[in-house]
Amino acid sequence: MTVVEEDRDDENYGLLQENLARLREMKIGQRKIQVVTLPMPRKIVRENLRLPASYANFYISNSSVLVPTFDDPNDATALSILQTLFPDRRVMGIDCRELLWGLGTFHCLTQQQPAV
């Protein structure tokens, strides 16, 4: 899975298209991998900082998938794609515009715990 930016004027467009092309050439053994794309939400900027809004920062639990949403037209598209990929789980969109201040959402929040 990867995200793609549709807006050619967006600063991430070229890099994400390059990433997509590389993924489409990857193989495991003799078989090319299946690449599923998610759209990008509109750019979110606060205090001159572009925040890392991405539907790819979802979290998979035993019975559900928590998906960051951003009050964006692409929210519904991303949720639909993920529901197709996880038919046995409840896919739930949760507004994460405020969480972006921490520079990540669900997947980032569930990663490494500090050593005690």
Residues forming the active site: 108
Q: Enumerate residues 6+ apart whose C-beta is below 8 A from 3.
A: 16, 37, 38, 39, 40, 54, 55, 56
Task: Quickly count helices (H) and strands (E) in the chain.
Answer: 3, 9
**CB 33 within 8 Å of CB 26:** yes
Report which of 28, 27, 6 is spatially closest to residue 16, judged by C-alpha positions: 6
Q: Which residues pair with 31 in a beta bridge?
A: 28
